[in-house]
Amino acid sequence: MLQKKINKKRTKIASSHAMTMIEDKSPQRTSIAQLGEFGLIDHLTSNFTISQPSTVKGIGDDAAVLDFKDKKVVISTDLLIEGVHFDLAYMPLKHLGYKAVVVNISDICAMNAKATQITVSIAVSNRFPLEALDELFAGISLAANEYKVDVIGGDTTSSQKGLIISITAIGEADENEIVYRNGAKQTDLLVVSGDIGSAYMGLQVLEREKQVFQVNPNSQPDLDAYTYIIERQLKPEARKDVRTLLHALEIKPTSMIDISDGLSSEIMHLCKQSGVGCNLYEDKLPLDPQLINVCEEFNIDSTTVAINGGEDYELLFTIAIDDFDKIKGNPNFTIIGHMTKESEGIHLITRADTKIPLKARGWNAISE
């Protein structure tokens, strides 16, 4: 129920941005050269505040200082390059900033840890006015507030072409809470949070609208039927709640990973690192009704999308079979399969009860 409400809220944000997504028509253009490097850093970072007790010193010195006392520290970093990882034709800069933070926090969540700090490094070409960077940092700031992480530093430099963003996320956990990819056992259940496949189809809709726009720049996209899946692509959320939910259920996953490249490729990672096989059940895959409709419209098999589409940032994990009663019927989680002996391999059991080997394909492979 709560998830439904959150989804409704997300949907509203998506539709309000849908119309502005195609082009940034911001009339104000202040050249970043005018401010100079230090002026720019001050301008971009002056609003960040510190709320984590582990942050001793944030922005403003040669390095930040952190104190995690008796906790273990987890760190993850990502590099996003314009034209490779994002396309500003349909990705508003504010969403990009938000998503760049979220994908890193998702990696911390996938360790069953709590994200506490981030650093933000950017390289920008002079094609971007100050107002564009303000939008980017508004998204970064929104995510930092939403996920309660302190922005404790970064680097700002110029690039010859395009925009590059690198975010590093830092988190904390007790040593015995941390969940790795390599702990799955032969009889464990395979569980996923939320629903999957929607972020990929959201991207397909945006790609289609971009092409329509290139042919007819005056066209106004009508995206009402696609709000949820577009939101999943443009404004994904990291499942920071899963740690709390599982803790309340007294479940510690035996292995865990976040779904960035696609379900099948993440299953392969868990299996390979844990030395187990897996049976995944087609009829158990959690799909949003809107995704099913859009797959029909695009004439794409929704199972293929759910298995190979990426960027949902849900969490995929295994639990001991003894924990079945604790998780069954929980609206936040779906049991989608079980682990097997390594020698049995990794298979999808279809609705027709046939067994087909699962291949690790990134989400780019769908259109091949």
Residues that bind ligand ADP (CB under 6 A): 41, 44-45, 59-62, 120-122, 151, 153-156
The CB-nearest residue to Mg ion is 155
Does residue 42 touch Mg ion according to CB under 5 A? no
Q: Between 16 and 145, whose beta carbon lies closer to ligand ADP?
A: 145
Q: Between 101 and 268, whose beta carbon lies closer to ligand ADP?
A: 101
Residues in 302-321 that interact with Mg ion by CB under 5 A: none
CB 308 within 8 A of CB 259: no
Q: How far is the CB of 107 from ligand ADP (least distance, A)?
A: 19
Which DSSP letter does residue 160 get? Answer: S
Specify the long-range contacts of residues 298-305, CB closer than 8 Å, at least 24 apart. Answer: 298/201, 298/204, 300/201, 300/204, 300/366, 302/197, 303/348, 303/350, 304/366, 305/197, 305/200, 305/201, 305/366
Q: Look at residues 343, 7, 18, 340 and name the one whose alpha carbon lies nearest to residue 184.
A: 340
| Residue in this structure with the two tokens 């790609």, named with its chain if needed | 207
Q: How far is the CB of 65 from Mg ion (least distance, A)?
A: 17
Q: Between 62 and 70, whose beta carbon lies closer to ligand ADP?
A: 62
State the binding partner of 59 from ligand ADP, Mg ion, none, CB within 5 to 8 A by kind.
Answer: ligand ADP
Q: Which two tokens stand for residue 109?
A: 């969540």
State the binding partner of 319 from ligand ADP, Mg ion, none, CB within 5 to 8 A by kind.
Answer: none
Does residue 174 touch Mg ion according to CB under 5 A? no
Q: Between 151 and 270, whose beta carbon lies closer to ligand ADP?
A: 151
Q: Between 118 and 280, whose beta carbon lies closer to ligand ADP?
A: 118
| Residue in this structure with the two tokens 């069954």, named with its chain if needed | 328
Q: Which residues does 160 contact at the CB level (< 8 Å), separation at least 6?
A: 125
Q: Between 158 and 354, whose beta carbon lies closer to ligand ADP?
A: 158
Phi and psi, residue 245, nearest 5°: -60, -45
Radius of gyration of the chain (CA): 21
Q: How far is the CB of 34 from Mg ion (least distance, A)?
A: 19
Residues in 112-171 that interact with Mg ion by CB under 5 A: 155
Which residues of the shown chain bind Mg ion in the complex (CB under 5 A)?
A: 155
